[in-house]
Amino acid sequence: MLNYRHLKLIKPLFLLLLTVSCVKDVDFDQARNLTINPVLEASIVYFNAPANTFFVNDDGEELPEAQDATVIKVFNSDFLVDNLIRAVFTFKIANSVKRGFQTRIDFLNTEDEVQHTFTVNTAASINNEDVITDHIEVFEGDEALTALKTTNKMVFTAILSPSPDGSVINQNTIGRVELKSKATFFLNINTDE
């Protein structure tokens, strides 16, 4: 049986264990200030249509200007408004119509006021082979980012360039226009905010 003498021997052992054991050189408070910088990439708007479906009016005559719009409620979402520090939009336009055109892309707010706009010039196709036009639009700095973060609608307006040979677009015009777009969102997510 254990007697007092033994206890005296054990006690310091346990005291030692209890006193030397601790958690040190760590700072758990830093977890409150976590910053991460993911980069998201997402497809945005796309279309692919023969010229004779949108550069032609109901009477079969050439329309000098075609327009379409789409509501996009992601740019002014809380997540992007709080965390987006830079955005890069990439557009790729393929044209196989023997007419050049200019594409104006407007970013509108909920009041339909233009927040940001730019145009992309696309050359006419020769022999109905694809002419590829790339455009990169960068949103950086307060002004551009604020414009993007108040956007909830993108409007695409295609304006035909003058015809080099006098020909007009009608129901029989060959060729199509294809547009692809993506956005790269650079984020700065801070748990402290």
Partner 1 sequence: MRKLSLLLLLITCFSFSQNKQVLYGLPESPQSLLINPGGKIENDWYFGIPFLSHIHANVGFSGVTAFDLFADDAVPFGEKVTNVINQLDENDFFGANQQIELLSGGFAIDKNGEKENYLSFGLYQETDAIVYFPEDLADLGIEGNANNIGRVFNLNQVKASLESLLVFHAGYTKKVNKQLNYGVRGKVYYSLINASSIANTGTFVTREGRNNFYDHVFDLDLELRTSGVKGLSPTDGPGALLKGGNFGLGVDLGLTYALTKQTTIDASLQDIGFIRHSKDVENYIINNQYTFSGINPLFPDVSTAETAEAYWDEIEDNFDELIELRKTDNSYTTFRPVKFNAALRYAFGTGNSNVCDCLNNNEGYLNGIGVQLYSISRPKNVQNALTVYYYRKLFEALRLKGTYTIDSYSFRNLGLGMSAHIKNINFYLVADNLLDFQNLAKAKSASVQLGFNYIYNQK
Nearest to 38 by CA among 193, 191, 184: 184
Which one of 80, 97, 120, 187 is in contact with partner 1 (CB under 8 A)? 187
The first and second tokens of residue 25, run together, are 């050189």
Strands (E), 144-188: 153-160, 176-187
156: contact with partner 1 by CB under 8 A = yes
Which one of 92, 104, 128, 163 is in contact with partner 1 (CB under 8 A)? 92
Which one of 47, 76, 159, 161 is in contact with partner 1 (CB under 8 A)? 47
Q: How far apart are CA 80 and CA 16, in angstroms?
A: 54
- Report helix, strand or coil for 71: strand
136: contact with partner 1 by CB under 8 A = no
The first and second tokens of residue 33, run together, are 């200030």
44: contact with partner 1 by CB under 8 A = yes
155: contact with partner 1 by CB under 8 A = yes
Is 106 or 116 the residue whose CB approaches partner 1 more closely? 106
Closest approach of Cβ 78 to partner 1, in Å? 15
Q: Is 145 left (phi over 0), alpha (psi -120 to 50) or beta?
A: alpha
Q: Could you tell me the maximum CA-CA distance found in the chain, to the nearest angstrom?
A: 115
15: contact with partner 1 by CB under 8 A = no
Q: How far apart are CA 178 and CA 162, in angstroms?
A: 20
Tell me the window of 39-47, 94-102, 130-138, 139-147 that interacts with partner 1 (CB under 8 A): 39-47
Nearest to 76 by CA among 1, 15, 149: 149
70: contact with partner 1 by CB under 8 A = yes
114: contact with partner 1 by CB under 8 A = no
Where do contacts with partner 1 occur on this chain (CB under 8 A)? 1-3, 6-7, 10, 14, 17, 20-28, 30-31, 33-49, 53-54, 66-73, 90, 92, 153, 155-156, 180-182, 184-185, 187
